[in-house]
């Protein structure tokens, strides 16, 4: 388990040792909270990707096609955020 997952597990109320082992009984409410935090963190990562794409400075010599690809990627990221939210039933 990586550091981010350990952090989210602790935020959910679990006790997690340095190897990533849950040292406390996994109650359903804590598992639900943990899963929701993972999904929310995933959506935040996608939001950051969209922000980065949106605020990328134009590249010298960038073609119209390149701009179109960047705009298309922004649309794909927005669609992914929506799909992840709907798939897991998590709303921010």
- Containing 18, the helix (H) or strand (E) segment is none
pTM above 0.85, yes or no: no
State the pLDDT confidence band at 45, using cuts at 50, 70 and 90: very high
Mean pLDDT score of the chain: 82
State the pLDDT confidence band at 28, using cuts at 50, 70 and 90: low
Structure tokens at 71: 């705009």
Contacts with 88 (C-beta within 8 Å, 6 or more apart), sequence order: 35, 36, 39
Q: Please count the other Cβ atoms lying within 10 Å of the Cβ belonging to residue 12.
A: 20
Domain ranges in the chain are 3-88
State the pLDDT confidence band at 6, using cuts at 50, 70 and 90: confident
**b/e per residue, 46-64, with b = 16+ CB within 10 A?**
beebbeebeeeeeeeeeee
Specify the DSSP class assigned to residue 10: H
């Amino acid at each position: 388990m990586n550091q981010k997952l350990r952090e989210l597990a602790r935020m959910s109320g679990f006790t997690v040792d340095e190897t990533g082992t849950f040292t406390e009984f996994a109650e359903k409410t804590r598992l639900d909270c943990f899963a929701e935090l993972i999904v929310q963190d995933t959506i935040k990562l996608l939001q950051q990707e969209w922000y980065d794409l949106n605020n990328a400075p134009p590249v010298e010599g960038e073609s119209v096609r390149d701009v179109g690809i960047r705009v298309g990627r922004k649309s794909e990221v927005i669609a992914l955020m929506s799909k992840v939210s709907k798939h897991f039933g998590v709303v921010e």
